[in-house]
């Protein structure tokens, strides 16, 4: 693998930027646009937020900020393990959910060929099983040659019901296929070093283990073994990914709000929310980045949707993140974005150089309705559609901005992850909430534990059984 990521001039050519012009009053008008004055008035809050982030980081809480330095040995271990197992498996299956799955999916979509799994030369093929839908999982287990399959079970807590259920089914099925004595060759566990049931099981079964740093939350963990092990297995350059994140970290350490992309975009998203634009749409114009938008959706929703502020006061905040894909969703969502309520901020992602292009042939020249397409390229079409949508939104006073990615590679994807993670941390601080917990998802989980008879959750079962009875009248 090349180490182009050490070359400063190459790094700068690959620098991600954000075009925030159309967020401002100057272009959008005073009713919906944001005033520079409002940004300047937020400076003290951003400064305080930055101090809080740094304080938490210094207290060892925000591990995502320093993954390059903190993970040198882990990175080496991951790369040697992947190298040792090269050619051994046809299939690499991730069992994990939420933050333990979405980052790897985003990496795969961004950095591997869209039809990777169909290519006979491209082993291992990659599969992510997150949901507990029996139809899909049964089909996966039936389809794969389990003798040539390795499963990476990822759960930071080591107790997530979905992941542990899939693991238990896979473990039984694989041991029937390969024999109990070979089972440890087919499973890897990625979990906490210090706690959790997955850790206990992995030790008992002698599985190879990788550890998720305790101070990196699930949805911030893509650049830990959670995403890096999978990446190394399929030939993604993990050193370059981490170098990209570190490069963006340097850019985002600028204390001038107007020159710090994570903070300026975060501040504008926050001001937009305060102006009633409580829906945040991420719309890449690149299929390769569509799962970054999905990853972002979870990052934003679980981090920022909170009932109480840091002082325990009821606040019920949180922008609703939506993922969209250009140009596809111009034919699905754009009507709403153009004419519906003024409640959205649209963030486009534009890729300057897609590395590949296709020319539209000059055929059907006698048919005026299609002849204008001849001799143009698909890249030009997708770029023009993005610019046209941006302008149409502007004309309708709809605030929007564009993340500009020079090229899709490990270095830029690493930058994107870091940029959006830091921005999320900042917006959390501006809302005065804890962006790193997820108390809201516990209640639903606890009812499930109660119904499934998990020890200690009997009260939840009782509460579940006493749930309000539904009336037949309303089931039609």
Stretch that binds ligand PA5, among 32-40, 92-100, 317-325, 348-356 (CB under 6 A): 92-100
Quick note: the x/- pattern for ligand PA5 over 264-303, rule CB under 6 A, is --------------------------------------x-
Closer to ligand PA5 by CB, 45 or 165: give it. 165
In this structure, the number of other CB atoms found within 10 A of the CB of residue 233 comes to 21
- 219 lies in the binding site for ligand PA5 (CB under 6 A): yes
Q: Return the residue nearest ligand PA5 (CB atom).
A: 218
The least CB distance from residue 435 to ligand PA5, in Å, is: 11
Known active-site residue 32: no
Structure tokens belonging to residue 14: 């690959």
Closer to ligand PA5 by CB, 63 or 218: give it. 218
Quick note: the x/- pattern for ligand PA5 over 407-446, rule CB under 6 A, is -------------------------------x--------
Among 32, 116, 379, 445, the active-site one is 445
Strands (E), 147-207: 149-154, 187-191
Structure tokens belonging to residue 276: 């009633």
- 97 lies in the binding site for ligand PA5 (CB under 6 A): yes
Say if residues 130 and 169 touch (Cβ distance below 8 Å). Answer: no
From the list 242, 339, 347, 213, the residue with the least C-alpha distance to 293 is 347
Q: Does residue 28 sit in helix, strand or coil?
A: helix
Known active-site residue 331: yes
Among 240, 302, 350, 410, the active-site one is 302
Q: Which residues of 444-465 are buried (b: 16+ CB within 10 A; e: fewer)?
A: eebbebbeeeeeebeebbeeee
Count the residues of the shown chain that bind ligand PA5, applying the rule CB under 6 A.
14
From the list 251, 274, 266, the residue with the least C-alpha distance to 429 is 266
- 318 lies in the binding site for ligand PA5 (CB under 6 A): no
- 33 lies in the binding site for ligand PA5 (CB under 6 A): no
Q: Is the dihedral of CA 12, 14, 15, 17 positive or negative?
A: positive
Please report which residue ranges of 290-333 form alpha helices under DSSP H: 290-304
- 156 lies in the binding site for ligand PA5 (CB under 6 A): yes
**Element (DSSP H or E) covering residue 164:** helix 161-178
Where in the sequence numbering do the catalytic residues fall? 302, 331, 445
Residues contributing to the site for ligand PA5 (CB under 6 A):
97-100, 155-157, 160, 163, 217-219, 302, 438
């Amino acid at each position: 693998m090349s180490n182009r990521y050490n070359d400063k001039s190459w790094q700068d050519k690959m620098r991600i930027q954000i075009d925030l012009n159309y967020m401002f009053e100057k272009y959008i008008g005073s009713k919906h646009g944001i005033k520079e004055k409002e940004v300047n008035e937020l400076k003290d809050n951003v400064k305080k937020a930055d101090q809080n982030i740094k304080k938490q980081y210094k207290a060892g809480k925000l591990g995502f900020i320093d993954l390059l330095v903190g993970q040198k040995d882990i990175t080496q271990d991951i790369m040697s393990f992947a190298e040792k197992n090269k050619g051994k498996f046809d299939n690499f299956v991730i069992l994990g959910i939420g933050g333990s799955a979405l980052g790897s999916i985003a990496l795969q979509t961004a950095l591997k060929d869209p039809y990777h799994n169909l290519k006979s030369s491209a082993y291992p093929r990659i599969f992510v099983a997150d949901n507990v839908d029996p139809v899909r999982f049964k089909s996966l287990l039936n389809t794969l040659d389990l003798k040539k399959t390795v499963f990476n079970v990822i759960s930071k807590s080591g107790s997530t019901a979905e992941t542990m259920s899939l693991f238990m089914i896979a473990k039984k099925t694989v041991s029937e296929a390969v024999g109990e004595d070979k089972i440890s060759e087919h499973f890897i566990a990625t979990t906490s070093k210090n706690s959790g049931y997955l850790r206990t099981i992995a030790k008992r079964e002698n599985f190879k283990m990788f550890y998720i740093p305790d101070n990196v939350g699930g949805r911030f963990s893509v650049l830990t073994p959670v995403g890096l092990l999978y990446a190394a297995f399929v030939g993604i350059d993990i050193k370059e990914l981490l170098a990209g994140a570190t490069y963006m970290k340097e850019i985002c350490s600028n204390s001038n709000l107007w020159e710090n992309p994570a903070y300026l975009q975060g501040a504008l998203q926050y001001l937009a929310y305060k102006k009633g634009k409580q829906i945040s749409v991420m719309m890449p114009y690149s299929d390769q980045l569509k799962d970054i938008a999905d990853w972002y959706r979870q990052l934003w929703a679980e981090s920022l949707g909170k009932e109480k502020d840091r002082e325990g006061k009821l606040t019920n905040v949180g922008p609703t993140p939506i993922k969209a894909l250009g140009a596809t969703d111009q034919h699905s969502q754009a009507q709403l974005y153009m004419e519906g309520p003024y409640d959205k901020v649209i963030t486009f992602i534009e890729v300057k150089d897609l590395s590949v292009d296709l020319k539209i042939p000059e055929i059907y020249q006698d048919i005026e309705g299609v002849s204008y397409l001849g001799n143009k390229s698909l890249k030009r079409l997708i770029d023009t559609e993005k610019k046209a949508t941006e302008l149409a939104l502007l004309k309708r006073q709809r605030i929007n901005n564009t993340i500009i990615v020079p090229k899709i590679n490990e270095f830029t994807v690493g930058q994107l992850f870091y940029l959006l993670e830091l921005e999320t941390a900042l917006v959390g601080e501006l809302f005065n909430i804890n962006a790193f917990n997820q108390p809201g998802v516990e209640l639903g989980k606890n009812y499930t534990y109660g119904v499934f008879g998990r020890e200690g959750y009997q009260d939840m079962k009782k509460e579940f059984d006493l749930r309000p009875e539904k009336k037949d009248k309303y089931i039609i």
